[in-house]
């Protein structure tokens, strides 16, 4: 509500009184969406700080500003050291003009997500702060004055604002409400606009807003620049800080919930295994009572010497008692393996939960904008790196597993992002992702980790729907690419094959 004509018109008048005759000394940026325009008048400095975030566009004037250390992006250098001749606003639009000597003009265009700041230079293309808005390169600050009020003949009292699109929705709604209670004449329409032109400014609310309409709960200002500064302080210092912090917290809180639910599932699976009689015990009981078991029976009740109670054991009638016992011993090995996997997963997810909770506490403890901005930049950098990398990444029991995204990224993963001692995995006789299990110096690859990497290789292949899938496992040093071979095609010189059930990343639940 702060970036519309009637606010900018008052702002431009006050800026003109403040900056007329001042020297435009510098323009620079420390952050992608923040620009500082520096002006010098005698011994005094004025800093016009401009915010051009996709979700928030504003500006304010300050007499103090500390340059941050680090990389600085300079712009608009053609206009440095030129004096300000006038500050005005494009008629009935959301553009502020700072006219300088030698026909140079800085145009501050407050068009929501398409907001930008640009320098008009005679005989040259416009210099754009946000260069991706290419159409701004052709803007001429003088050619923008074209919007006019409707005259009395073309004025439509039923739709007074339709041909006059200079209001944000909130302003138009407030004006429409007043209009309905008025005489609805052209004169009344002009009086409403005049009221806006001479209104005080009111700042408050949650989220904060700068309004031209009185509100008992808002603080009032006669100065547009003072109101704008207070609005920016509230929005950036409280609302924008809180929403940015919440945006960073949300995925961590969701991850915490996912991990807690997954640990609950693991606990139930462990409990189920604990409560049932182990297959190895059933095998021992059968072997101890082989002479008592008649051939061809489907079940038998025997003494369980582990609990000193009777137990009924179901058998396969086509197998001998000894073969049934061997079958139980084999299931017992798988059962033991499942228990080990559950224990390992439990430890892994407990560690992940602790790390997530630590990250949440660290983020919740942040109370100032610089620290939050640093955290936000780190998060954005991580997300950007994940987009650029040719592989997806997961960590299982402390071991990193990388999964190629497509044929081209398979080549890049195997040739550029894998060490010769890493393990290379791929579904056998099927198209699919290259999978790399990263080597850790001085450590042997755990069997459970190799199996998990093989499950992922099976899942990210054409054989993902099969119950069991053969997967090639070999050190990366035995994988080479023949010159001219298609993307993703390699030659494996030595291999082992592991038979696994395909399982995707979702199996790790966070």
Which residues does 54 contact at the CB level (< 8 Å), separation at least 6? 33, 113
User: Domain check: are 294 and 372 in the same one?
Assistant: yes
pLDDT along the chain (510 residues), means of 10: 85 95 94 92 94 90 78 92 95 91 94 93 93 90 73 77 61 73 79 82 89 89 94 83 86 91 88 89 91 88 91 91 91 85 84 91 87 79 68 88 90 91 94 94 91 95 94 94 83 92 72
Detail the DSSP E strand segments found in 90-241: 95-100, 105-109, 116-120, 127-128, 201-204, 209-211, 219-221
The tally of CA atoms less than 13 A away on the side-chain side of residue 426 is 26
User: Domain check: are 321 and 438 in the same one?
Assistant: no
- Decide: 163 and 187 in contact? Cβ < 8 Å: no
Question: Is 402 a member of any domain?
Answer: yes
pLDDT of residue 80: 96
Alpha-carbon dihedral sign for residues 281, 284, 289, 291: positive
What residue has token string 């084999």? 330
Q: Which two tokens stand for residue 287?
A: 């072997």
- Give the C-alpha distances (Å, rounded to integers) separating 123 from 96, 126, 170: 22, 9, 41
Q: Which domain holds residue 107?
A: 5-138
pLDDT of residue 46: 95
User: Domain check: are 351 and 424 in the same one?
Assistant: no
Length of the chain: 510
Q: What is the CATH number of the domain that holds 28?
A: 2.30.310.10
**Measuring CA to CA, which residue among 413, 384, 383 is closest to residue 401?**
413
Euclidean distance between CA atoms 27 and 67, whole angstroms: 12
DSSP state of 136: G
Residues forming a β-bridge with 461: 432
- Decide: 401 and 433 in contact? Cβ < 8 Å: no
Residues forming a β-bridge with 473: 425, 496
Question: Is 382 a member of any domain?
Answer: no
End residue of a domain, out of 350, 376, 402? 376
User: Domain check: are 396 and 500 in the same one?
Assistant: yes
Residues forming a β-bridge with 180: none
**Measuring CA to CA, which residue among 11, 52, 8, 45 is closest to residue 29?**
52
User: Domain check: are 43 and 107 in the same one?
Assistant: yes
For the entire predicted model, the pTM comes to 0.55
Residue 478's CB is within 10 A of a number of other CB atoms, namely 13
**Measuring CA to CA, which residue among 150, 147, 108 is closest to residue 130?**
108
Measure CA 49 to chain center.
26
DSSP structure string for 255-267: HHHHHHHHHHHHH
End residue of a domain, out of 138, 163, 196? 138
**Measuring CA to CA, which residue among 496, 489, 410 is closest to residue 451?**
496
User: Domain check: are 26 and 93 in the same one?
Assistant: yes
- Decide: 120 and 107 in contact? Cβ < 8 Å: yes
Euclidean distance between CA atoms 170 and 168, whole angstroms: 6
Question: Is 247 a member of any domain?
Answer: no
Residue 473's CB is within 10 A of a number of other CB atoms, namely 23
pLDDT of residue 398: 84
User: Domain check: are 345 and 304 in the same one?
Assistant: yes
Question: Is 262 a member of any domain?
Answer: no
End residue of a domain, out of 376, 399, 427? 376
Q: Specify the pairing of strand 56-62 against strand 73-74.
A: unpaired
**Largest Cα–Cα distance in the chain?**
112
Euclidean distance between CA atoms 483 and 495, whole angstroms: 21
User: Domain check: are 430 and 403 in the same one?
Assistant: yes
- 3-class SS string, 279-332: HHHHHHHHHHCHHHCCCCCCEEEEEECCCCEEEEEECCCCCCHHHHHHHHHHHH
Question: Is 463 a member of any domain?
Answer: yes
Question: Is 251 a member of any domain?
Answer: no
pLDDT of residue 116: 95
User: Domain check: are 393 and 372 in the same one?
Assistant: no
Question: Is 450 a member of any domain?
Answer: yes
User: Domain check: are 285 and 402 in the same one?
Assistant: no
Question: Is 33 a member of any domain?
Answer: yes
pLDDT of residue 510: 46
**Overall domain count for the chain:** 3
User: Domain check: are 407 and 340 in the same one?
Assistant: no
Residues 97-118: b if buried by 16+ CB within 10 A, e if exposed: bbbbeeebbbbbbbeeeebbbb
Q: Which two tokens stand for residue 486?
A: 């298609």
pLDDT of residue 101: 95
DSSP state of 77: G
User: Domain check: are 297 and 412 in the same one?
Assistant: no
């Amino acid at each position: 509500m702060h970036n519309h004509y009637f606010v900018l018109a008052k702002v431009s008048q006050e800026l003109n009184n403040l900056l007329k005759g001042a020297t435009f000394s510098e323009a620079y940026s420390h952050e992608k969406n923040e620009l500082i325009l520096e002006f010098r008048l005698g011994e005094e400095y004025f800093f016009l700080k401009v915010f051009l975030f996709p979700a928030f566009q504003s500006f304010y004037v300050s007499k103090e500003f500390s340059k941050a250390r680090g990389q600085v992006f300079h712009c608009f250098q053609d206009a440095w050291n030129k004096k300000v001749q006038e500050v005005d606003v494009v008629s009935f639009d959301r553009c502020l003009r700072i006219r300088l000597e030698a026909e140079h003009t800085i145009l501050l265009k407050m068009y929501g997500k398409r907001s930008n700041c640009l320098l008009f230079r005679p005989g040259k293309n416009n210099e754009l702060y946000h260069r991706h808005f290419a159409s701004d390169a052709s803007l001429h600050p003088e050619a923008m004055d074209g919007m006019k009020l409707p005259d009395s003949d073309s004025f439509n009292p039923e739709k007074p604002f339709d041909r006059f699109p200079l209001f944000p929705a909130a302003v138009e709604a407030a004006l429409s409400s007043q209009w309905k209670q008025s005489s609805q004449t052209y004169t009344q329409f002009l009086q409403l606009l005049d009221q806006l032109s001479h209104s005080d400014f009111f700042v408050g609310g949650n989220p904060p807003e700068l309004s031209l309409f009185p509100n008992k709960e808002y603080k009032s200002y006669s100065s547009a620049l003072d109101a704008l500064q207070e609005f920016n302080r509230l929005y950036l210092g409280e609302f924008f800080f809180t929403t940015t912090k919440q945006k960073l917290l949300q995925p961590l809180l969701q991850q915490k919930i996912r991990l807690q639910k997954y640990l609950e599932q693991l606990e139930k699976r462990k409990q189920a295994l604990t409560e049932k009689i182990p297959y190895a015990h059933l095998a021992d009981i059968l072997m101890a009572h082989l002479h008592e078991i008649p051939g061809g029976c489907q079940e038998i009740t025997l003494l369980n010497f582990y609990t000193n109670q009777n137990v009924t054991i179901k058998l396969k009638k086509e197998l001998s008692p000894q073969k049934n016992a061997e079958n139980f011993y084999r299931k017992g090995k798988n059962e033991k393996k499942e228990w080990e996997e559950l224990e390992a997963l439990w430890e892994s997810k407990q560690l992940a939960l602790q790390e997530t909770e630590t990250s949440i506490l660290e983020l919740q403890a942040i109370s100032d904008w610089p620290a939050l901005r640093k955290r936000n930049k780190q998060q954005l950098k991580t997300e950007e790196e994940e987009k650029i990398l040719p592989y997806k990444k997961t960590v299982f029991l402390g071991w990193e597993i990388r999964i190629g995204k497509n044929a081209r990224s398979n080549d890049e993963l195997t040739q550029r992002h894998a060490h010769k001692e890493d393990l290379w995995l791929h579904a056998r006789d099927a198209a699919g992702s290259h999978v790399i299990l990263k080597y850790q110096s001085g450590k042997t690859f755990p069997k459970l980790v190799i199996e998990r990497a093989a499950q992922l290789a099976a899942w990210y292949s054409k054989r993902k729907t099969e119950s069991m899938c053969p997967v090639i496992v070999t050190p990366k040093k035995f994988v080479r690419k023949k010159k001219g071979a298609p993307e993703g095609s390699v030659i494996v010189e030595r291999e082992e094959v592991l038979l696994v059930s395909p399982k995707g990343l979702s199996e790790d639940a966070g």
